[in-house]
Amino acid sequence: MKGFSLFSDKTKKGVEGRKQSLNIIKSKISKADKVIWMHAASLGEYEQGLPVLGRLKMQFPQHKILVTFFSPSGYENVIKKKNIADAICYLPFDTEQNVKEFIKDFSAELFFTVKYDYWYNLLDELKKNNVRTFVISALFYERQSFFTSYGKWFVKQLKRNVDWFFHQTQHSYLLAKSIGLQNSSVTGDTRFDRVKHLKMRDNHVDFVKEFIEDKKTIVFGSSWQAEEKIAAIISKNNPNVKVIIAPHDLKRVQNLKQIFPHSILYSELQNHQPSTINHQLLIIDNIGLLSKLYSYADIAVVGGGFHDAGLHNILEAATFGIPVVFGNHYKKNPEADDLIKAKGAKSFENENAAAAFISYLLNNEEILQEMSENANNFVIKQPNSSELILQKILSF
């Protein structure tokens, strides 16, 4: 792995960050502390686990909270924000020696990993130390190694070392049962708990209402080039519609200014009087606003679905009761299929088809409202996953 760090900035950050993990633990947590430990591969898994972590913190306020990451993108995003963790660090590489050295300096009472990030030396060592171990928002799918001839060893390890699997879907639950993982239940996707709370908070964003001027608004969230192409088509064909673009990477901002020369940056809005903000397109050039911006939208276009980068979070948009549009290249996203079935979203093979559908919605208020209600109802009807998980964990 260290050799690969010479070629990848991301891998290099992970290698260098792991060198600090033991020092972080020792400076934040003592051997006398009782610890609740959540592991997440990256930012998306962290957000899935956060509602459960919050409930556990309320239940056990004296316990210290440890959060570990595998991916630098997850670690670097979370370390910069206010959060409930007492210590945040990288998970060591999964060798027996690394794991033993890492966990010997604190007393973990409860550990859970999110979705499908399994580290077998870690799970084995936790079992030896009598740590209750769970998988939150578990998601099994047919192409996993567990369902191959050489996957039997991995299944054996999970049977021995995991106390309970909390599955996102019935399909995942049945797949796990088929390979003998009996300690499991269907509790739904914990992200729904989080996005329900997003709707209840104050979602005001300075200057955005003045920019919108009560016009129909489309928010392009975590956009890539494909979504930017849709924005270009929409803004050209619908001059009375307001467009807000929040790129997946702020490095895209300068490119966006070239593509949309008559746009305005969010950082520039404060220098304008409300009456002079007559731009059609707003580019968001800072982080942390996207989930609030969806509250201003009539339609959301969520990035990542027109290629294999991975579809970004569609639930943050759906919770505000707006139609969600995205590309059809999404994997391991059961919520996308479910939202489409609920008629609160649509996916498309190419940008032109997506743009045509958005224009159709803009000109058909009844269909727009119907999809909005469907998206809203889809989120509202989801189970309170965190409460179900908490009660089961307490039963242990």
Split at pLDDT 50, 70, 90, the class of 78 is: confident
pLDDT of 3:
43
Q: Are 89 and 19 in contact (CB under 8 A)?
A: no
pLDDT of residue 375 exceeding 70: yes
Terminal C-alpha separation, the chain: 38
Q: Are 374 and 343 in contact (CB under 8 A)?
A: yes
Residues 242-290 pLDDT 10s: 999 999 999 999 999 999 999 999 999 877 766 557 899 999 999 889 9
Instruction: Give yes or no: residues 162 and 61 share one domain.
Output: yes
Instruction: Give yes or no: residues 272 and 182 share one domain.
Output: no
pLDDT of 295:
98
pLDDT of 306:
94
Instruction: Give yes or no: residues 71 and 97 share one domain.
Output: yes
Provide mean pLDDT across the span 329-356: 94
Share of the chain above pLDDT 70, in %: 95
Provide mean pLDDT across the span 308-328: 94
pLDDT of 12:
66
SS3 326: strand
pLDDT of residue 64 exceeding 80: yes
CA 342 – CA 347 distance, rounded (Å): 13
pLDDT of residue 395 exceeding 50: yes
Instruction: Give yes or no: residues 171 and 128 share one domain.
Output: yes
Instruction: Give yes or no: residues 213 and 275 share one domain.
Output: yes
Instruction: Give yes or no: residues 83 and 227 share one domain.
Output: no
Q: Whose structure tokens read 């210590």?
A: 87
Q: Are 228 and 259 in contact (CB under 8 A)?
A: yes
Beta strands in the chain (DSSP E): 34-40, 64-69, 87-90, 107-114, 132-138, 164-167, 184-186, 217-223, 242-247, 264-265, 281-283, 299-302, 324-327, 345-348
pLDDT of 18:
78
Residues 295-315 pLDDT 10s: 999 999 999 999 877 899 999
Q: Which residue has the higher pLDDT, 27 or 7?
A: 27
pLDDT of residue 7 exceeding 60: no
Instruction: Give yes or no: residues 149 and 256 share one domain.
Output: no
Instruction: Give yes or no: residues 274 and 390 share one domain.
Output: no
CA 315 – CA 29 distance, rounded (Å): 34
In the predicted model, what is the mean pLDDT of the chain?
91
Instruction: Give yes or no: residues 187 and 219 share one domain.
Output: no
pLDDT of 90:
92
- Going by C-alpha positions, the residue among 310, 361, 357 that lies closest to residue 336 is 310
Instruction: Give yes or no: residues 252 and 146 share one domain.
Output: no
Residues 202-243 pLDDT 10s: 999 999 999 999 999 999 999 999 999 999 999 999 999 999
Q: What domain range is 185 assigned to?
A: 4-197+383-395
168-177 long-range contacts, CB within 8 A, separation 24+: 168/115, 168/137, 168/138, 168/139, 168/334, 169/139, 169/334, 171/140, 171/334, 172/138, 172/139, 172/140, 172/141, 175/140, 175/141, 175/142, 175/147, 176/138, 176/140
CA 65 – CA 44 distance, rounded (Å): 19
Measured in degrees and rounded to the nearest 5, phi and psi for residue 342 equal -80, 0
Residues 109-131 pLDDT 10s: 999 999 989 999 999 999 999 99
CATH number at residue 90: 3.40.50.11720
CA 292 – CA 221 distance, rounded (Å): 11
pLDDT of 13:
64
pLDDT of 217:
98
- Going by C-alpha positions, the residue among 252, 242, 371 that lies closest to residue 303 is 252
Split at pLDDT 50, 70, 90, the class of 6 is: very low
CATH number at residue 292: 3.40.50.2000
Domains contained in the chain, number: 2
Instruction: Give yes or no: residues 96 and 220 share one domain.
Output: no
Instruction: Give yes or no: residues 254 and 214 share one domain.
Output: yes
Buried b (16+ CB within 10 A) or exposed e, 115-135: bbbbbebbbbbbbeeebbbbb
